[in-house]
């Protein structure tokens, strides 16, 4: 073959590669015009800001950024732009079905794995770009996280707990059924363990198979058939061992805890957060402040459980427990807010339909937070709880380009966050109902 011909072909290929690379770079760099910009770090709203994004990362934010000619621009000058939301308490692998007993007897982890991507997509499109998922069967949450990270399916960034660690007969075990029934696969979300060495072994088991946070049942619960709502279900020594073992592996622990005594025990053990926190007294609140423990209270759930669960055959004993604890949880939350306990947003999504996460904001405001504080609880505070403050939680240089936009002002009406029309995750628009280009 002619050498000149070969040289020409080589030059053309090089030119093609350079052109393709420049085109790819141009597509990956974009600028967002934000009419109203919620600065969650300083608790203020700024006007007419520009957000410079390169690939999946925020490069700069400010009012003096010059947008190059021909650059890709997303014009949100008529909207309020804020960081992608974070839900610190979700169960993305399940949600209530049409029949309570059918869910238990006829559904396996395979069923959960099939529907989990649907729930993940709904959550992302609701504006929640990051979630802490705190309990799932058969490591379905790990598979879901990995599929999202690979880009196989859309969904929020996930920090997963895998199996809920509970003692025998606890909220984390399956109660109320014959011991002679043969179960194919795990019971509920359970990592049943007892004793100091037993719980340490279970923590190690969870971590071995992908856990990034450790979740355990410090107390009894509502949506299970053990009699108590809030009695402790581990000893202080067992709780200490769970948290210590998590820390040895560089992980944080969170505790499902409704009852007052169990809350205090878990806080003393060193958990990063109390989930639910339904029955707080002054001492528990003081302990949480002293230890810097976050409260993650799912204060919307009561409405849905009392209105819908009986329709699906949920046993009356479970609904009666919700009547007992729901109102008290909201009062405890209000007292914790007033006392200055650190609050992170968490909904227990999966107890009600996924994608409804934003419904909780109005309750957080109703029971004590300002709209800005409620937004901060689901952004910068939630990121702090997860240990991901350098990656998510605010729109700032070096962080992932995760953001949302709403037409109305959520600081004037927090219910604007119940229907989020624009969502970006990692620099890619995943939902656009504002019609912007």
Q: Is the predicted pLDDT of residue 183 greater than 70, yes or no? A: no
Q: What are phi and psi of 61, to 5 degrees?
A: -140, 135
pTM over 0.85: yes
Q: Is the predicted pLDDT of residue 332 greater than 60, yes or no? A: yes
- What is the per-residue pLDDT for 241? 98
- What is the per-residue pLDDT for 344? 98
Rounded Cα–Cα distance for residues 415 and 356 (Å):
12
Q: Which letter, b or e, does each residue of 159-183 get, where b requires 16 or more Cβ atoms within 10 Å of its Cβ? A: bbbbbbbbbeebbbbbeeeeeeeee
Interior CA angle at 383 toward 118 and 65, to 5°?
95
Q: Is the predicted pLDDT of residue 65 greater than 50, yes or no? A: yes
Other beta carbons less than 10 A from residue 422's beta carbon? 23
DSSP states of 40-84 as a string? TTTTEEEEEEEEEEETTEEEEEESSPPPPTT-EEEEEEEEEEEEP
Domain architecture of the chain: domains with CATH: 23-82+397-432 (2.30.40.10), 85-386 (3.20.20.140)
pLDDT digits (tens, 9 = 90+) for 233-256: 999 999 999 999 999 999 999 999
Other beta carbons less than 10 A from residue 256's beta carbon? 28
Interior CA angle at 182 toward 176 and 187, to 5°?
55
- What is the per-residue pLDDT for 176? 76
Rounded Cα–Cα distance for residues 230 and 238 (Å):
17
Are 210 and 224 within 8 A, CB to CB?
Answer: no
- What is the per-residue pLDDT for 2? 53
Residue % of the chain over a pLDDT of 70:
92
Give me the chain's average pLDDT, please: 91
Are 54 and 29 within 8 A, CB to CB?
Answer: yes
| Structure tokens that stand for 76 in this block | 């949100």
Q: Is the predicted pLDDT of residue 110 greater than 50, yes or no? A: yes
In which band, very low, low, confident or very high, does the pLDDT at 7 lie, cut at 50, 70 and 90? Answer: very low
pLDDT digits (tens, 9 = 90+) for 151-172: 999 999 999 999 999 999 888 8
- What is the per-residue pLDDT for 83? 98
- Contact partners, residue 49, CB within 8 Å, separation at least 6: 33, 34, 37, 61, 62, 63, 81
Are 390 and 401 within 8 A, CB to CB?
Answer: no
DSSP states of 149-188 as a string? HHTSS---EEEE--SEEE-TTSTTS--SS-TTS--SS-ST
Q: Is the predicted pLDDT of residue 26 greater than 90, yes or no? A: no
Q: Is the predicted pLDDT of residue 10 greater than 60, yes or no? A: no
Rounded Cα–Cα distance for residues 74 and 60 (Å):
15
pLDDT digits (tens, 9 = 90+) for 254-312: 999 999 999 999 999 999 999 999 999 999 999 999 999 999 999 999 999 999 999 99
- What is the per-residue pLDDT for 13? 38
Strands 422-425 and 403-406: antiparallel
| Structure tokens that stand for 162 in this block | 């895998």
| Structure tokens that stand for 83 in this block | 């960081």
- What is the per-residue pLDDT for 224? 87
Maximal CA-CA distance, the chain: 88
Rounded Cα–Cα distance for residues 34 and 57 (Å):
17
Given the structure tokens 């608790």, which residue do they identify?
43
Mean pLDDT check: name the lowest of 47-56, 173-182, 293-302. 173-182
In which band, very low, low, confident or very high, does the pLDDT at 23 lie, cut at 50, 70 and 90? Answer: very low
- What is the per-residue pLDDT for 179? 75
| β-sheet with 157-160: strand ranges across | 85-90, 128-133, 157-160
Coil, strand or helix at 131 = strand
Q: Is the predicted pLDDT of residue 178 greater than 80, yes or no? A: no
Mean pLDDT check: name the lowest of 18-32, 209-223, 271-285, 360-374. 18-32
Rounded Cα–Cα distance for residues 35 and 226 (Å):
52
- What is the per-residue pLDDT for 182? 64
pLDDT digits (tens, 9 = 90+) for 356-400: 999 999 999 999 999 999 999 999 999 999 999 999 999 999 999
- Contact partners, residue 199, CB within 8 Å, separation at least 6: 165, 193, 216, 234, 238, 241, 242, 245
Averaged pLDDT for residues 16-44: 74
Other beta carbons less than 10 A from residue 137's beta carbon? 23
CA 409 vs CA 33, 123, 139, 405, 413: distances in Å: 16, 21, 39, 10, 6
């Amino acid at each position: 073959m002619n050498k000149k011909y070969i040289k020409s072909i080589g030059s053309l290929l090089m030119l093609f590669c350079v052109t393709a690379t420049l085109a790819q770079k141009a597509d990956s760099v974009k600028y967002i015009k934000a009419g109203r910009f919620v600065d969650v770090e300083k608790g203020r709203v700024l006007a007419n800001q520009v957000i410079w994004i390169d690939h999946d990362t925020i490069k700069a934010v400010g009012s003096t950024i010059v947008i190059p000619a021909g650059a890709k621009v997303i014009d949100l000058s008529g909207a309020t732009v804020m960081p992608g939301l974070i839900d610190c308490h979700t169960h993305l692998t399940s949600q209530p079905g049409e029949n309570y007993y059918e869910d238990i007897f006829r559904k396996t982890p395979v069923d959960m794995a099939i529907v989990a991507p649907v729930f993940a997509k709904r959550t992302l499109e609701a504006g929640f770009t990051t979630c802490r998922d705190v309990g799932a069967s058969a490591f379905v949450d790990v598979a879901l996280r990995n599929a999202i990270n690979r880009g196989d399916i859309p969904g929020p960034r996930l920090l997963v707990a895998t199996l809920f660690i509970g003692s025998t007969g606890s909220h984390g075990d399956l109660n109320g059924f014959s011991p002679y029934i043969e179960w194919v696969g795990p019971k509920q979300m359970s990592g049943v363990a007892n004793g100091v060495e037993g719980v340490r072994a279970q923590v190690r088991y969870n971590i071995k198979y992908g856990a990034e946070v450790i979740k355990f049942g410090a107390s009894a619960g509502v949506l299970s058939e053990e009699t108590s709502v809030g009695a402790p279900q581990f000893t202080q020594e067992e709780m200490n061992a769970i948290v210590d073992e998590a820390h040895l592996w560089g992980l944080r622990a969170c505790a499902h805890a409704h009852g007052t005594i169990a809350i205090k025990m878990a806080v003393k053990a060193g958990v990063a957060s109390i989930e639910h926190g339904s029955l707080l007294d002054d001492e528990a609140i003081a302990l949480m402040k002293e230890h810097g423990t976050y409260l993650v209270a799912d204060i919307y759930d009561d409405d849905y459980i009392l209105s819908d669960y009986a329709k699906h055959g949920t046993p009356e004993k479970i609904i009666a427990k919700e009547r007992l604890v729901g109102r008290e949880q909201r009062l405890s939350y209000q007292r914790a807010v007033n006392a200055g306990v650190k609050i992170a947003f968490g909904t227990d999504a999966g107890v009600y339909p996924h994608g409804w996460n934003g419904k909780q904001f109005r309750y957080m405001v109703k029971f004590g937070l300002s709209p800005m504080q409620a937004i901060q609880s689901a952004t910068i505070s939630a990121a702090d709880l997860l240990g991901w403050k350098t990656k998510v939680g605010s729109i700032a240089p070096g962080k992932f380009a995760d953001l949302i936009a709403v037409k109305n002002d959520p600081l004037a009406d927090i219910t604007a966050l119940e229907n989020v029309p624009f969502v970006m995750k990692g620099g890619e628009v995943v939902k656009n109902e504002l019609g912007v280009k």
